[in-house]
Each structure stands twice: as C-alpha cells, then as structure tokens.
C-alpha cells in the first residue's frame, strides 16, 4: 500500500481499480443479474470519473487506507473474473465488446504505471531495495551508433487512427484521422544518450536560465533539479554519478550509451535548445513511425531499462523511452469523446499537458502503435521519458 508521490498509486490500488473498471463499465450495465462484490468499492476505487460520484480518497491519500486488505482485493478480482466468464457465456453486443477491449488496454496502462510507481517507492526508501536482479540489461554496453540526421520531405500527410472495423481498437484521442501539412524536417536516428545528457549538465545547463522555458526554470529552482530523476552523485564511478534502476544501482559509466530517461518536458526542451535543435512535433513523429515495424525494447523483453541503440536507419521509435514531443495534448480536428462517463477517460485532460510517443521499456508490446498518444504534465519525471531531437 506504499505511495511515494501524489502522481503514483499503491500497487494494490492499481489491482483494485482495474477490477473496478470491468465491474463498473461492463458487468453492471451488461449482466442484468449482477450483484456487486461490495457496494462501497464503487466509490473507493473510482479514479477521476466525477460523473459517477466523487472519488474516495483523493489520489494523494490513497496509501492512508489500510483496508480493504490485499486478500479482499484479490477476492474482488477473482469474483469479477468469475462474473466476466459468466458474461462471456451469453451473447455480447458490439458496445460491450468495445468496453471489454478498452478495459484490457486500460489494465495494460496500469501494469506500466505499477512498475514506475514501484521504482519511485524503492528509490525513496532508505534501503533502496531492488525490484529485479542487478544484472545489466542485455546489450546495454555495446558501442553506440553515431547519431544520424534522417531527411523527410514533409508535405500533406494523414495522422490518427482510421477505424475500419467495428472492433478495431484505439483510444478516442487517436481519432479522427486527419490531414496535416509538414514542412521538410530532419529526424534524429536514435534517442539522446546519458553521455550526451551529461555533456549538457557539465556545461552548467541547470544554472543557465536562458536555456529554459520560464515555467521550466521555475521548476528547476523550486525542485532543485541538477540531473535526471534517479541520478545520484557517486565518487565510486568515473563519471561522478550512479543511476538507480529497477535492477538496482549502476554506475553511470555502465549506462553511458543508453538513452537518458526520467526527463521532464522542460529538460528535454532545454537540452534540444542547447544542442541547437528542437523536439519533433507529434505529427512528424507519427509520419516516421507509421512506416516502421512495431518492435523494440518493450516490457516483454524483461530488460526493464533502456538499452543502447542498434542497427541502421531510425531506431528506438518503439520502446526504451517515451519521447516528449513539441505538441500540446489537444483533441484532433473533429474529435469527439466517448459518450457518458467513459468520455472522461481522455478528453478531460486536454489542457496543460504535453504529448509523448512510442512507449517505453515498461510498456506491454501489444499496447503501443504509431498513432498512440500518451500525455503528461511538462514537469513529469517519474515515468520513463526521454528525448529525440529534430531540426
């Protein structure tokens, strides 16, 4: 039931909330004789669906409730699983099927969130426990390929998901497919590495307000940032730093050629400015990713940390780190949220957030696609977020 920051949630809450989703949006409306496991759970494990009633407790206080116990939450899940099996034995209409698919993808999101929340909790624990073994991610120490600039001619393109079949899945914020005009641009062949980011730090970037957006500089000063989250000064490494991972501590010199991660949008934007570059727009990113095979260092590899780029051409589009883009998170032209309470899933957050693309080393492999739009506040660092440059 540990919760180390307001953005995170206790792991047992993730389990209960994903179960609550199926009970609330599938079983209650589509299984006419369904009897809730416990009526109080309808409010207790609500997250932000205000139209269903105010959540209890506020997100920042979820860890203060020791009950229900983990055993009762697991019993809740077993009960809902059993009732879902009973639903499957009956005729299910198209809308119920869509909601079940949404629930599965919603659960994948929380599987990723649970790992990032565990990492943050372990980092703040004075014992600094390790989630996995201390072995380095496979291939993390190979030589890094030189960063190349790939040229794209731009022009009139289409982005967004084109839903051709009733049960083709995407989130509502990926629609509708629409036209965007792009100027010619250059796209970095890989993500920015720890070594490249260390150069930025060594140039006193965290003390130079001219490199930062105004709100970013305020974050630097107020939070005392001087390095990415999970970096700690350490005299035992040649670089003077070590990095906390889900597989324990590693000297930065061991990870020097892996993508830098746990970077805020403000840090990514400042780094790009320092390099004389910029962050790509999400339309530019999708125009490149839509032509590439969806594979990479995602959760299914078991590495649990970004690894060194490998191969020719554009690399690391899927996996390793979520990539900040220069695009604010807003609805596409003609966007319509889902009807009813499900409309609160994405649309209500289209304010004061920035868009990320591509997935991370903690994202399930079948959860991401070229059209997938993640979003976070620009000061977010507890997610596995990184940098790709554009010109």
Compute mean pLDDT per 10 residues along the chain, 391 residues long, and list them.
87 94 95 92 79 61 79 97 95 92 95 96 94 68 81 96 79 95 98 98 97 98 98 96 96 96 98 98 97 94 95 93 98 88 77 96 96 97 97 97
Q: Which domain holds residue 98?
A: 11-124
Shared-domain flag, residues 217 and 312: yes
The 3-state DSSP class for residue 361 equals: coil
Query: Are 116 and 179 contained in the same domain?
Result: no
Could you tell me if 120 and 154 lie in one domain?
no
Determine, yes or no, domain membership for 2: no
Hey, is 250 helix, strand or coil? strand
Residue 1 lies in a domain: no
Distance separating alpha carbons of residues 146 and 1, to the nearest angstrom? 44
Q: Which of 91, 124, 157 is the last residue of a domain?
A: 124
Residue 104 lies in a domain: yes
Residue 79 maps to a domain: yes
Q: Check residue 208 and give its pLDDT.
A: 97
Cα dist. 46→19, 291, 305, 333, 390 in Å? Answer: 11, 38, 31, 30, 40
Torsion, Cα 223 229 235 240, to 10 degrees, reads: -100
Show which of 87, 109, 124 is a domain's final residue: 124
Cβ neighbours, 10 Å, residue 315: 20
Per DSSP bridges, beta strands 149-152 and 185-188 are antiparallel
The count of other CB atoms within 10 Å of the CB of residue 278 is 14
Residues 174, 99 share a domain: no
Domain containing residue 220: CATH number = 3.90.1580.10
Examine residue 5 and state whether it is found in any structural domain, yes or no. no
Considering the domain architecture, whether residues 181 and 93 belong to the same structural domain is answered as no
Q: Which residues contact 115 (CB under 8 A, 6 or more apart)?
A: 131, 246, 299, 304, 362
Q: Which of 124, 158, 192 is the last residue of a domain?
A: 124
Q: How far apart are CA 257 and CA 135, in angstroms?
A: 17
Q: Residue 367 to residues 175, 183, 299, 338, 383: CA-CA distances in angstroms?
A: 17, 30, 10, 20, 16
Inside any domain, residue 139: no
Do 102 and 174 belong together in one domain?
Answer: no
**Residue 281 is assigned to a structural domain of this protein:** yes
Whether residue 316 is contained in a domain is answered as yes
Contact 18, 25 (CB under 8 A): no
H or E segment and range at residue 354: strand 354-357
Q: What is the pLDDT of residue 51?
A: 59
Distance CA 27, CA 37 (A): 11
225/105 same-domain check? no
Predicted local distance difference test score (pLDDT) of residue 324: 98
- Regarding whether 184 and 120 lie in a shared domain, the answer is no
Helix (H, G, I), strand (E, B) or coil at 375: strand
């Amino acid at each position: 039931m540990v919760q180390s920051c307001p953005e995170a949630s206790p792991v047992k809450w993730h389990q209960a909330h994903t179960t609550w989703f199926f009970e609330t949006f599938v079983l209650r409306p589509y299984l006419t004789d369904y009897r809730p496991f416990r009526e109080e759970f309808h409010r207790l494990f609500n997250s932000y669906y205000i139209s269903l009633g105010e959540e209890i407790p506020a997100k920042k206080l979820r860890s203060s409730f020791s009950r229900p116990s983990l055993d009762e939450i697991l019993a809740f899940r077993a009960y809902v699983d059993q009732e879902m099996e009973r639903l499957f034995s009956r005729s299910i209409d198209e809308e119920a099927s869509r909601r079940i698919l949404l629930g599965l993808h919603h659960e994948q999101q929380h599987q990723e969130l649970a790992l990032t929340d565990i990492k943050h909790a372990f980092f703040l624990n004075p014992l600094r426990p390790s989630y996995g073994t201390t072995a380095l991610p496979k291939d993390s120490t190979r030589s890094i390929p030189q960063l190349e600039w790939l040229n794209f001619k731009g022009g009139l393109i289409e982005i967004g998901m084109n839903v051709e079949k009733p049960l083709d899945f995407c989130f509502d914020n990926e629609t509708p497919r629409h036209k965007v005009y792009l100027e010619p641009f250059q796209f970095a062949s890989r993500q920015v590495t720890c070594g490249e980011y260390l150069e930025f730090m060594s140039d006193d970037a965290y003390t130079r307000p001219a490199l930062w957006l105004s709100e970013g500089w305020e974050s630097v000063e107020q939070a005392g940032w001087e390095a990415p989250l999970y970096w700690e000064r350490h005299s035992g490494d040649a670089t003077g730093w070590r990095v906390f991972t889900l597989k324990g501590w590693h000297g930065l010199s061991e990870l020097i050629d892996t993508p830098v991660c746990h970077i805020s949008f403000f840090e990514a934007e400042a780094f790009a400015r320092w390099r004389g570059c910029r962050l790509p727009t999400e339309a530019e990113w999708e125009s490149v990713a839509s032509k590439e095979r969806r594979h990479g260092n995602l959760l299914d590899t078991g590495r649990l940390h970004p690894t060194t780029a490998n191969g020719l051409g554009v690399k690391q589009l899927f996996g390793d780190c979520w990539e900040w883009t220069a695009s604010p998170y807003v609805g596409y032209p003609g966007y319509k949220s889902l009807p009813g309470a499900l409309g609160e899933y994405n649309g209500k957050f289209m304010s004061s957030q920035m868009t990320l693309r591509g997935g991370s080393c903690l994202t399930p492999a079948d959860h991401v696609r070229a059209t997938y739009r993640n979003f976070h506040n620009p000061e977010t660092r507890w997610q596995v977020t990184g940098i790709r440059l554009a010109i």
